[in-house]
Structure 1
Amino acid sequence: MKTKYIDLIEQTFDFPQKEFKLDKNNKLQFHGIDLSKVIAQYGAPLKFTYLPKISENINNAKTWFANAMEKHNYAGNYNYCYCTKSSHFQHVLHEALKNDIHIETSSAFDIDIVENLKAQGKITDEAFVISNGFKRDQYVKNIGRLINNGHKNCIPIIDNYEEISLLSEEIQGNYNIGIRIASEEEPKFEFYTSRLGIGYKNIVPFYNRDIKDNPRVTLKMLHFFINTGIRDTAYYWNELLKCMKVYINLKKVCPSLDSLNIGGGFPIKNSLAFDYDYEYMIDEIIQQIKQTCDEAGVAVPNIFTEFGSFTVGESGGAIYEVLYQKQQNDREKWNMINSSFITTMPDTWAINKRFIMLPINGWQKEYERVLLGGLTCDSDDYYNSEQHMNAIYLPKFSKEKPLYIGFFNTGAYQETIGGFGGLQHCLIPQPKHVLIDRDEEGNIVTTLFSEQQTSEKLLSLLGYNFEINKAMTSMPEKIDLSEVLSSYNQ
């Protein structure tokens, strides 16, 4: 009878897979990385980023678009932009920018990051900087500064009718812009139209009224994005067709319009059963854009994408140790991890997002059905079948031998939403973060990016003076506190 964990996985999924396999000791490897060695060196809990996966996904997408454009004799070109809000870390941007890509920004401080990268020589004036989002004063000032300092390929995407006048006050000379379409949402949404951008029917009148006769402003790009991402659904294709109608009508009155930004939204692998045909979707998008333009007699646009999760998501992971098992009733066993889901993977708590979860060791042991619980005292700090897509099975827990589990493809948004370096729920410390790369010979190289949070850092954020606190904990039973405070203040 097949009752081992490895039997369960092999009977349920195609295994091993490209990124997941077992070594000769029956321990899990991720892209050939011996995770047990990483645990032995750095301990658990820990977060990690496998940098080569970022470049791999970028180049996959560039190849798919190049092949589709060649197949359909598409006259426009393709520009891959990285959506920085997915992960702003320097190591992520440095890896992504090795691959001749462009940048999409969302807020004022993004521009400071761009300027920092330019100072390091990672970005040149030739790179496009697509500035999305609702633009408050500082964002407008920073965009103006970037353009005034020579970065003419910065294209602010107009989100509302007032932004052109605000930008014109800050920018010296002429500049290019794009317009974002306020797409219509799926029927299941609580609202009909995205809060971002300008409505379909209002874009051409807006151009004729505020842009056409403005000698300083040139419209170059139409921006299209829907929340559900790029998926093979009637809803997506219908919205893309409506977008193309706007592009064609706008192109007929605006000869300078030459680019279509289809945003981001490629899904990433969230299960060993994940099945998404990226090449088919890209081929179909290029074909439909070309066909629609040819029928209308207008030139096809250059294509921009803004992939965030697709760029960085599959590079990240988290490893926890199962500390203890609690049998709460006759059916439910809780495996308690040595961290918190709310703080380290907030999307599991906020939007029931699914990630790949596999044990690092114990694959030859019998399996059992469990629930996973985090350390905080919040009743929502758990990971169960609702997030996981089906029941959670893990190797049987034993106190004698630690069980380690990994969550994979967690590289997008989790650090920024979780408040990296800041306060954590119940003051559960943020775990170590390890960067994993390969040298020129292909050997694994690991670097500690950040240590686990200390009480000093957390108390400092909360306004406590740790030196006084330390002095108080080491005091004898009878002491005049005023003397300690007086001495410290001096």
Structure 2
Amino acid sequence: MKTKYFDLIDQTFDFPQEEFTLNNNELNFHGIDLKALIEQYGAPLKFTYLPKISENINRAKSWFANAIAKHNYNGNYNYCYCTKSSHFKHVLDEALKNNIHIETSSAFDIDIVENLKAQGKITDDTFVVSNGFKRDRYIKNIARLINNGHKNCVVIIDNYEEISLLDKEIDQTYNIGIRIASEEEPKFEFYTSRLGIGYKNIVPFYNTEIKDNPKVTLQMLHFFINTGIRDTAYYWNELLKCMKVYVSLKKECPTLDSLNIGGGFPIKNSLAFEYDYQYMVDEIINQIKQTCDEAGVDVPNIFTEFGSFTVGEAGGAIYEVLYQKKQNDREKWNMINSSFITTMPDTWAINKRFVMLPITGWDKEYERVLLGGLTCDSDDYYNSEQHMNAIYLPKYSQEKPLYIGFFNTGAYQETIGGFGGLQHCLIPTPKHILIDRNEAGEIITSVFAEQQTSEQLLSILGYDYGINQDLESITNEANIASTIVQ
């Protein structure tokens, strides 16, 4: 009878998979011995596997290169990384090894761009696509970048006022794009994105505000779908509407030569994940070319903004099951030594699912469990009701530690969780390590950040000022009081 955890996975999914394999009944990730990682660094533990970033960038480049060749598409492809997905230096350093471009979304992003440019990681040939709603600091930072000679900055206009604000700060000609305010999926609470300018208003906006402005060159139309690039009637319908705007705008504006199909590729969130990336790219390129050919206009250069796809599958989190609580006849709570709310906030905020697998115990019998975090918050859990599929793990025993891993957590979780800052119930941010490979393919690890200490948290809370003096004063007062009582 097949009752082991391995049997459950083997009969449910295709296993092993490219990134997940077993060695002596313990899980490996991209050939990394995760149990050895735990023995060296402990748990809880966050990690970033840097080579996966470059791998995904080059996968996407190859899909677009194949589609462009297949359809005789007379335009270039430019891969942009959305810094908002993960601003960390090690992520940008790895991504920029692959001749890519940058998409920014806030004022401080420009400071990062300038820092990378000073180090030679970004050059004047690097496109900086500045997206988002812009006000004073963001406008000034974009202007500084352009005034200092970065000609390949494309400012994506989000509202009618931004051009006048930019004109006041930029002392030379500059390039812009216009973001389309796409219609949201029917299940959304509102009909149209709060970002961008409506479909019907874009051509009139160009004619009244841009056409006769000698400082401004319209280069790009920006199309973003919040749900990402998916094979749905909704996505294809929005792309078709976008192309109608592009054709109309191109006929009015000869300098328009680029289309930004923002909205990223999905990433793996279960062992059953299936997505035909090459098919989607083929069909996008084909539909853009067909529309342009029928209208008699040149096809645009293609820009994509991939954030989660770039960095998501590089990240992971490892926890130890500390204890099992049996709350009733049916529910068993495996308590982890960290918090889901603080380390993977998307599991709590938007019920996001990640690949979850045990690292040890694959040769043990399995049981159905709920996973609970350390905070006192009732929402600090990860279970079947909240995340669709039942959770089965090797049976817990106090004699042998059970470690579990969550994978493909590399996008947004640190920034949303407030990396290095206050955490709910003062649960510390786990140790974070970087994993790379040398030229010989050997694994290299290093500590990016140690686990937060109480001193760091107390300092943020304002308790560090004169804390030693206060403690000494309290001790002296207690001694005096004791003497008086005696």
Q: What's the TM-score, normalizing by structure 1? A: 0.96
Taking the aligned partners of 2:143 and 2:136, their CA distance within structure 1 comes to: 11
CA–CA separation in structure 1 for the residues paired with 2:3 and 2:441? 37
Q: How many residues align?
A: 480
8 A contact 2:227–2:263 mirrored in 1: no
Structure 1 distance, partners of 2:126, 2:457, is 39
Structure 2 contact 313–407 (Cα < 8 Å) conserved: yes
Provide the residue aligned with 2:2 in structure 1.
Answer: 2
Q: CA deviation at 1:98?
A: 0.1
Structure 1 residue 387, shift from structure 2 partner: 4.3
1:334 and 1:406 mapped to 2: Cα distance? Answer: 17
Cα distance between partner residues in 1 of 2:148 and 2:14: 53
For 1:105, the aligned partner's letter is T
User: CA separation of 1:383/1:203 partners in 2, compared to 1, >3 Å: closer, same or farther?
Assistant: same
After superposition, the C-alpha distances for 1:241-283 in whole angstroms (9 at most, x for unaligned) are 0000000000000000000000132000000000000000000
Going from structure 1 to structure 2, the CA distance change for 1:12 and 1:144 (only over 3 Å counts) comes to: same
**Separation in 2, partners of 1:466, 1:154:** 44
Quick one: distance in 1 between partners of 2:332 and 2:465? 40
| Aligned-residue identity in percent | 84
The AA in structure 1 aligned to 2:14 is D
Tell me the distance in 1 between the aligned counterparts of 2:187 and 2:299. Answer: 33
Deviates more, 1:387-396 or 1:415-424: 387-396
Deviation per residue, 1:258-315 (Å, 9 max, x gap) = 0000013200000000000000000000000000000000000000000000000000
**Residue 394 (structure 1) aligned with residue 393 (structure 2):** yes
Instruction: Please list, as runs of the form range in 1=range in 2, the aligned pairs for 1:59-78 lying within 5 A after superposition.
Output: 59-78=58-77
Q: 1:469 to 1:353 in 2, by over 3 A?
A: farther
Aligned AA (1:125): D
**Partner Cα distance (1:331, 1:386) in 2:** 14
CA distance in 2, matches of 1:271, 1:355: 6
Pairing 1:45–2:59 present: no
Check whether the contact 1:230–1:236 (CA below 8 A) recurs between aligned residues: yes
- Whether the aligned pair in 1 keeps the contact of 2:396 and 2:402 (CA below 8 Å) is yes
Contact 2:322 2:335 in 1 (8 A): yes
2:243 is the alignment partner of 1:244? yes
Cα offset, 1:468, TM superposition: 1.8
Quick one: which amino acid aligns to residue 6 of structure 1? F
The offset of 1:478, in angstroms, is 2.6
Q: Is the 8 A contact 2:332 2:369 kept in 1?
A: yes
Contact 1:354 1:387 in 2 (8 A): no
Instruction: Report the Cα distance in structure 2 between the residues aligned to 1:386 and 1:181, rounded to whole angstroms.
Output: 37
**CA contact under 8 A between 1:352 and 1:386: conserved in structure 2?**
no
- CA-atom RMSD in angstroms: 1.2
Tell me what 2:200 maps to.
201
Shift of the 166–59 alpha-carbon distance from structure 1 to 2, 3 Å rule, reads same
Q: Deviations over 1:369-423 (max 9, x none)?
A: 0000000000000001144431000000000111000000000000000000000
**What runs of 5+ residues in structure 1 fail to find an aligned partner?**
482-490
Please give the alpha-carbon distance, in whole angstroms, between the structure 2 residues aligned to 1:480 and 1:8: 67
User: What SS does structure 2 have at the residue aligned with 1:475?
Assistant: helix
Q: Secondary structure at the match of 1:440?
A: coil
Partner SS for 2:180: strand
Residue 332 of structure 2: aligned partner: 333
| C-alpha separation in 2, matches of 1:221 and 1:271 | 36
Equivalent pair of 1:129/1:155 in contact (CA under 8 Å): yes
Tell whether 2:97 aligns with 1:86.
no
Give the deviation of 1:469 after TM superposition. 5.0
CA distance in 1 between partners of 2:389 and 2:314 (Å): 24
2:94 is aligned to 95
Partners in 1 of 2:180 and 2:242 — Cα distance?
Answer: 8
Partner-residue secondary structure (3-state), 1:262: strand
TM-score, scaled relative to structure 2:
0.97
Aligned counterpart, 1:478: 478
Q: Give 1:479 shift.
A: 3.7
Aligned partner of 1:488 in structure 2 is none
**Maintained 8 Å contact 2:322/2:337:** yes
Residue by residue over 1:436-473, the C-alpha shift from the partner in whole angstroms, topping out at 9 and shown as x without a partner, is 00011000000000000000000000011265258628
For residues 207 and 303 of structure 1, the distance between their equivalents in structure 2, rounded to whole angstroms, comes to 21
Question: Which residue is 1:309 aligned to?
Answer: 308
State the one-letter code of the partner of 1:13: F
Partner of 1:18: 18
Structure 1: which amino acid aligns with 2:478? K
Aligned partner of 2:88: which letter? F
- The letter for the 2-side match of 1:18 is E
Residue 364 of structure 1: SS of its match in structure 2? coil
Q: What letter corresponds to residue 294 of structure 1 in structure 2?
A: D
| 1:484 alignment counterpart | none
**Within 1, Cα distance between the matches of 2:359 and 2:193?**
42
Aligned to 2:110: 111
5+ residue gaps, structure 2, are 482-486
Question: 1:88 is aligned with what amino acid?
Answer: H
Mapped contact 1:33–1:444 kept (Cα < 8 A): yes
